[in-house]
Amino acid sequence: MRDSETAAAAAGAQPVGELTGVTKVYGHGDTAVVALGGIDVRIDDGEFIAIMGPSGSGKSTCMNILGCLDTPTSGSYRFRGVEVTTLTRNQRALLRRNYLGFVFQGYNLLSRTTAFENVEVPLIYRGLPVAERRDRVREALAAVGLESRGHHTPAELSGGQQQRVAIARAIVSQPTLLLADEPTGNLDSKLSREIMELLVQLNETRGITIAMVTHEPDMAAYTRRQVRFYDGLVMADEPTHGATRLSAARQATR
């Protein structure tokens, strides 16, 4: 058992997300494709994990199940102790809206609206009052270093700035779990490092739990733990000290 699991168990806490014996099969009979062959993955509060593997290994399917964008063929997915597989479609949609944040490789910003308005969208769906929405959007933009760029449209922002807006949109609703799918895939190496440093900062200073899909070892090195997939199975689940090294590097440059 990992140290994080031991601490959570001692505190009587439910994991944020826990997959047990999860399978996912697409199709039937001779055309069936096994995307997941029975996996166990646990994510505790405050973790920053990388879900890694080659194309077709099952990592994106795992992410989609964690994000309630897909359902397992068999097995259990418990979110904060609630069995997600027994929820209705509408209940899963409410879970996504109220407890999950998403960052994708493509920024998925509304092109004709400002950064501020893009970040505000999840709060509008929640029905929050205007004053509260504005305060939370300003706070989220400040958290990603874009408090002065809220009036700009995506076309007026760099790729790295657009991804920061997407991250602000993901955290503005204060999610229990932030899911990032190849968040640096469209960025050059310098901007990729900036985005990873931001995610580490959000994890360390705000305690946001993050699960990130990536195929890049350099990006996975920023996380605290790496879960490696191959042919639909978890082949390794081990800690990494990337985030710790990054913190030490920051301290050394101050």
pLDDT class of 249 with cuts at 50, 70, 90: very low
Buried b (16+ CB within 10 A) or exposed e, 114-135: bbbbbbbbbbeeeebeeeebee
pLDDT, position 4 = 45
Q: Amino acid identity, residue 215?
A: H
Q: Is 247's pLDDT higher than 70?
A: no
pLDDT at residue 229 is higher than 60: yes
pLDDT level of residue 14 (50, 70, 90 thresholds) = confident
DSSP alpha helices (H): ranges in the chain?
Answer: 3-11, 59-66, 89-99, 115-126, 130-143, 159-171, 189-206, 217-220, 242-253
189: number of Cβ within 10 Å: 10
Residue 8 clears pLDDT 50, i.e. is over it:
no
What kind of fold does domain 46-60+88-253 have according to CATH? Rossmann fold (3.40.50)
% of the chain surpassing 90 pLDDT:
80
- pLDDT surpassing 50 at residue 3: no
Query: What was the pLDDT predicted at 30?
Result: 86
List pLDDT tens digits, range 136-182: 999 999 999 999 999 999 999 999 999 999 999 999 999 999 999 99
26 pLDDT higher than 80: yes
Question: What DSSP element (H or E) covers 152?
Answer: none
Q: What would the pLDDT profile of 197-214 be if each residue is shown by its tens digit?
A: 999 999 999 999 999 999
The domain segmentation of the chain, as residue ranges, is 46-60+88-253
Query: Which of 27-36, 163-172, 210-219, 241-250 is predicted with the least confidence, judged by mean pLDDT?
Result: 241-250
Predicted pLDDT of residue 253: 43
Res. 10: pLDDT tops 50: no
**pLDDT over 60 at 243, yes or no:** no
Average pLDDT over residues 46-52: 96
Q: What is the pLDDT of residue 106?
A: 87
Residue with the bigger pLDDT between 160 and 6: it is: 160
The answer to whether the pTM exceeds 0.85 is yes
Q: Which amino acid, one-letter code, is at 193? A: R
